[in-house]
Structure 1
Amino acid sequence: MEQSSKVRDLVEEALALNESLFLIDLSISANNKIQVLVDGDQGVPLSECIRISRNVEHNLDREIEDFSLEVSTPDISHPLKEKRQYRKNVNRILNIKTSEEELEGTLVEVDDEKIVLQWKTREPKPVGKGKVTVEKTATINYKDIKEAKVKIVF
């Protein structure tokens, strides 16, 4: 589809009307299937997906080039991609993969450069027999994160 920049502009135009929404991904396949993935600081109501979809659909001409359009939100299995997604998941448990290790902990802090995870673990006592529960903290820069997913807890 030659209109990929037009599609992006139309999506951005629709997102600008609700500052709590942001674009995660936009793809257009060879057969003109447009897929838009949006998220929001407080989630994304269905009505907003419909509004974004209509803004794109009503401003593209199917007579010139046919297309299909899907506007959706990331499900829980999607890895986090944008810094804003981390902010909305503070106090949730994340699984984080870096090139060196895999960590699981509660996201307790987020800024523009890094995140902070906290978790409890059982370790041998420094003196004597048995184990003691200790609280661990890890500070991870965004650039070091290979994959981050919210853990589903039932």
Structure 2
Amino acid sequence: MIDKNEVRRLVDEAIAATDAFVVDITVSAANDVVVELDSPTGVDLDFCADLNRRLNEVFDREDEDYSLEVGSASLTAPFKVKGQYEKNIGNEVEVLTRDGKKFKGILTAVTDSDFTVDVTRKVKEPGAKRPVMMTEPVVVPMEQAKQVCYVINFK
């Protein structure tokens, strides 16, 4: 069976001089290897093909039968690593917390332990005739976020 740590080491070496980062690496019991990458500038097909060739040069199909898929992280998939949060600062995201709260807002900051989303809500102030739109920062600890996804707007 192909060692996931060896795949990770090889991928890290291959992308060291780039702005790309690993989102996920999976190796199934049937030796199906999937490498997901992302980058602040995007990951193109040529980059994935080059990495695929480099990995195929190291692993010998004569010794072990395997399949290899190298690609970019899906635009609609939930964030898995801090780099994806950093890439999306300034973009609208949808957050689902572990206690079931769901909200949308603009991702404004990320640390190792939490992230901040500016959420705009209608608020009726005491004595006001109509509700007004107010934007407030919501800080979410990483361990409380069940799912965070980029929101695609077609406006």
TM-score normalized by the length of structure 2:
0.90
Q: Once the 2 structures are TM-superposed, how far is the Cα of residue 74 of structure 1 from its aligned partner?
A: 1.1
1:53–1:70 contact (8 Å) kept in structure 2 = yes
C-alpha distance in 2 between matches for 1:83 and 1:126: 40
Q: Once the 2 structures are TM-superposed, how far is the Cα of residue 13 of structure 1 from its aligned partner?
A: 1.6
The code of the aligned residue for 2:11 comes to V
Alpha carbons of structure 1 residues 69 and 131: separation in structure 2 relative to 1, 3 Å: same
C-alpha distance in 2 between matches for 1:128 and 1:12: 57
The code of the aligned residue for 2:107 comes to L
Alpha carbons of structure 1 residues 9 and 128: separation in structure 2 relative to 1, 3 Å: closer
Corresponding residue for 1:52? 51
Task: Give 4+ residue runs of structure 1 displaced > 6 Å after superposition.
Answer: none
Corresponding residue for 2:141? 141
Give CA-to-partner distance per residue, 1:1-51, whole Å, 9 cap, x none: 143333222222212232x11111111122221111111122112221112
Q: Please list every run of 5 or more consecutive structure 2 residues that lacks an aligned counterpart in the other structure.
A: none
TM-score normalized by the length of structure 1:
0.91
The code of the aligned residue for 1:6 comes to E
C-alpha distance in 1 between matches for 2:60 and 2:94: 43
Q: Equivalent residue of 1:91, what SS? A: coil
Corresponding residue for 2:3? 3
Q: Once the 2 structures are TM-superposed, how far is the Cα of residue 78 of structure 1 from its aligned partner?
A: 0.8
The code of the aligned residue for 1:99 comes to R
**What fraction of aligned residue pairs are identical, expressed as a percent?**
31
Q: Please list every run of 5 or more consecutive structure 1 residues that lacks an aligned counterpart in the other structure.
A: none
Say how many residue pairs are matched: 153
1:83–1:112 contact (8 Å) kept in structure 2 = yes
Give CA-to-partner distance per residue, 1:56-97, whole Å, 9 cap, x none: 101111111111110011112210011111111011111111
RMSD between superposed Cα atoms in Å? 1.5
